[in-house]
Structure 1
């Protein structure tokens, strides 16, 4: 009887973790759709990013204050604070800014696939920084991923023409910034905790985004179409705050490998949502390229998680 109850509890834990990972993946994937819808209301990338972060920062500030009230917290050293600020600027501010810029030029589907390449970048950067060899299986997975991106890129270039190279490079830079953040964040997260680190780093990124708007735009530019504010609020809640904490909760329940596997629904979800809400066409070439990217990235993510 006791074993049966324990088995049911484990199953419940796994199902809950899977649902949390699924919701996080869909939330992240919806961001590109919301950005594209906001651009239709004639708002620029800097303003839209500032609106998104302005709606997000109260939550992250509240979480930061809450974590500080908990007992037995490790005090942050000067080095910790430097890491939080630097990684927040790279992994959340710069990555978001480049992504928003890139979405002005490329489809939501291509954007999500390029962002999904970040585990492959972690492999290459780690091999370069720590002088590690890339195993044959990982090399094959890298080849699959970038062949898939090339296929989707050529498909979109034939349909969209000018600007796609610029957009793809900007989003690639966003994924690279996030990969650098992941490599640098391990030690700091292990020391101060994932929730506290996320709250602090996102607060830094929010402040940088709002400061960039204040320096580059007059205050009158905040007089926007009401729709932009609704989309910015939705982006903050469903594509920023909730996924950031849902993904951590999912990993605690089912592990990084299974979370990565479920996260593969993200690019697929983006392509479907873009077809429904943006009218982006889906072709067999795009599906084939997406399948190659997903196969390659998942092979790398699961293998590294297992190690």
Structure 2
């Protein structure tokens, strides 16, 4: 009974984390209505997130996970913080200037299949028949949804889709490469350190541009930057970690299927976005492929 209660509590926490993460794209699109560019809203996200991750890093700095940390481990944290949280976020924010939030989430949802492909290429891990079918389904769904978007929005959709795909690839690279570091640092400490690296990368990026007035935005932009930082970054990052701990990563991968659907709903409410029938069909194929792969992997485990 206690185990069942814990499982369903983990499901609820995971769903809340996914929905909060999904709100990021919607809030970014809302910010763009106030003539703010991608790096500026990304900077505000990191500025407001920074104090939280500094406190977390300080609190957990002496927590030992049983492994001796070496200088090269910290070097890898810097690298994966750069790739997984800076580049992936930057590509995502740029892509959102060209395509709908709902379509962005569908393309980003490809990252589990990219993880499998990268594991095959670099770690020589075999792809099972089930995984191959799931990968095929997801990419068919993307082609259906995206090709219809080009007909609706024009050729800019190609550029937006390309940046979002880059975001999915860089995030998948982070997941593949950092998997062996997380047990050494612990989830919370590693996440805090990697996010701090990402913050500094964004600060440096903004410093090099140096042409924009950080204090000249509409108040709504600062509010959205704060909401993105707290409710679409910091809080869900720990909710997801807690959910994975309570129900396992395989079960969480199934729960994550709610992500694109929640984005579609939120984008419809706050942005008046709508998917065509063909795009919604493509989205269902993508979600179905990922969930199917996750369920089969769970049974195999």
Give structure 2 stretches of 5+ with no counterpart: none
Distance 2:64 2:153 in 1: 55
Question: Residues 71 and 169 from structure 1, CA distance in 2 versus in 1: closer, same or farther, beyond 3 angstroms?
Answer: closer
**Which of 49, 61, 69 is the equivalent residue of 1:56?**
49
Contact 2:66–2:184 under 8 Å retained in 1:
no
Distance 2:39 2:275 in 1: 29
2:194 is aligned to 201
Distance 2:80 2:66 in 1: 21
Distance 1:302 1:58 in 2: 38
> How much does 1:245 deviate?
0.6
2:120 is aligned to 127
Q: How does 1:197-276 map to 2 (within 5 A)?
A: 197-218=190-211, 220-276=213-269
CA RMSD in angstroms comes to 1.5
Give yes or no for the alignment of 1:24 onto 2:12.
Answer: no
2:5 is aligned to 12
> How much does 1:130 deviate?
2.2
Single out whichever of 171-180 and 149-158 deviates more from structure 2.
149-158
TM-score by length of 1: 0.94
Write the deviation string for residues 214-249 of structure 1: whole angstroms up to 9, x where unpaired. 111246243211000000000001110011111110
Write the deviation string for residues 130-166 of structure 1: whole angstroms up to 9, x where unpaired. 2233222211111110010011101211110031000
Name the structure where helix makes up a greater proportion of residues. 1
Write the deviation string for residues 243-281 of structure 1: whole angstroms up to 9, x where unpaired. 111111001111112211111111001011111111112
Contact 2:64–2:185 under 8 Å retained in 1:
no
Give structure 1 stretches of 5+ with no counterpart: 1-6
1:76 is aligned to 69
**Which of 54, 64, 67 is the equivalent residue of 2:60?**
67
Give yes or no for the alignment of 1:150 onto 2:147.
Answer: no
Question: Residues 89 and 304 from structure 1, CA distance in 2 versus in 1: closer, same or farther, beyond 3 angstroms?
Answer: farther
Aligned residues: 300
Question: Residues 10 and 191 from structure 1, CA distance in 2 versus in 1: closer, same or farther, beyond 3 angstroms?
Answer: same
> How much does 1:300 deviate?
2.7
Deviant stretches of 4+, over 3 Å: 69-75, 301-307
TM-score by length of 2: 0.96
Contact 1:47–1:222 under 8 Å retained in 2:
no
**Which of 26, 40, 44 is the equivalent residue of 1:47?**
40
Question: Residues 87 and 168 from structure 1, CA distance in 2 versus in 1: closer, same or farther, beyond 3 angstroms?
Answer: same
> How much does 1:186 deviate?
1.0
